[in-house]
Amino acid sequence: MSGHRWEIVMLLGVLLVTGCGSSDEGKTEFVFNPNALTFSRITTNPASDTVPAWNPAGTRLAFVATRTTHPELYITPVAELNPVRISSQEGTFVSKPSWSPNGENIAVAADSPGKAEPAAPETHLWVASYLTTLPQLRQLTESEVADSGPAWSPDNSRIVFSRDSSLWRVAPPGGDGDILETGDLTGPIVDPAWSPDGLRLAYAVFNGDNHDIYVQADGGSPAVLVASGADERYPTWSPSGGHLAYQSDARGNWDLWLVSSGGGTPINLTPDSAHDDKHPSWSPLGGTIAFSSNRGGNSDIWIMERVPFE
């Protein structure tokens, strides 16, 4: 019976998706029924839980939570929902985790452990291993400006991150890093995300009023993917690399949207103006997107299942 039920759900989610004959080759427009999706709450804590990130196996989520006096890094098995804190140094302020390809380490942006919060913290990249008995943070970068938003490449050769309005890259052992060529883009570039095959980067670029989503082939030039006039952030790739999900305030609040990686008309996955849905992270197993939302009253981690665009 469960197999038949799954087929019905997939019919609702997939057969209502139709190509609309875009004149641009490789671009597709979609008709989508959001009622085909299901939602589950992963964390239930009075604190703020945000920016989830799937491990490569699709079994654990890393996220940032303010459950003590400052934001720290947590991990929870999705099957058990038992968050464990893996950063405990006083004065550590972490954001946007990114897993290594082998799932043993996590890159984060944080200020220097052991110091009180400065007025304008200079964040750097750190690597945490949650496999050790007492997880330690190893510093990866050090500069006079803030480093943020690490994205670990699928081949483990580099970590791309934001620094001083540009994208930089550094090898996982650490070092000074070097700037990544992004053509004529001048606005601050944030939220880098690797495609599953490691051949493309998606990221958000500030245009003076808000952020647009760009895609750039490795060694190529950037091309705008989404520029709606709204603020678009945090792109995340589907496992096949055929689609990206991202957050946008096109309807006033933050919703999760989806677009083909070849371009086309974006579709709203969470068309509900009563709450904010942010920070999507697509499961490597497909069909599931983790995100942060206040739909339960405070900011918690949720997962969206039966996403038909794999």
Q: Considering the domain boundaries, does residue 39 fall inside one?
A: yes
Q: Considering the domain boundaries, does residue 255 fall inside one?
A: yes
Task: Give which of 97, 185, 196 is closest to 149, Cα–Cα.
Answer: 97
Length of the chain: 310
Q: Considering the domain boundaries, does residue 119 fall inside one?
A: yes
Bridge partners of 181, per DSSP, are none
Q: Considering the domain boundaries, does residue 287 fall inside one?
A: yes
How many C-beta atoms lie closer than 10 Å to residue 188's C-beta? 14
Alpha-carbon torsion angle 243, 248, 250, 252, nearest 10? 150
Q: Considering the domain boundaries, does residue 129 fall inside one?
A: yes
CA distances from 162 to 39, 253, 282, 307 (A): 32, 26, 21, 30
User: pLDDT value at position 240?
Assistant: 95
Q: What is d(CA 61, CA 83) in angstroms, rounded to the nearest whole number? A: 9
User: What residue numbers bound the domain in which 268 lies?
Assistant: 2-305
Q: Considering the domain boundaries, does residue 310 fall inside one?
A: no
Give the domain CATH number at 241.
Answer: 2.120.10.30
User: pLDDT value at position 34?
Assistant: 72
User: pLDDT value at position 2?
Assistant: 34
Rounded average pLDDT per 10-residue block, the chain, 310 residues: 32 37 43 79 90 96 86 88 74 80 91 54 81 70 89 96 94 89 92 97 96 94 96 97 96 95 93 90 96 93 87
The predicted model scores a pTM of 0.86
Q: Considering the domain boundaries, does residue 141 fall inside one?
A: yes
> Which residues fall within 8 angstroms of residue 82, CB to CB, at 6 or more apart?
76
Output the CA angle 260-307-41, nearest 5 degrees: 130
Looking only at Cα atoms, what is the longest distance across the chain?
60
Bridge partners of 255, per DSSP, are 248
User: pLDDT value at position 92?
Assistant: 65
Count: domains in the chain: 1
Q: Considering the domain boundaries, does residue 181 fall inside one?
A: yes
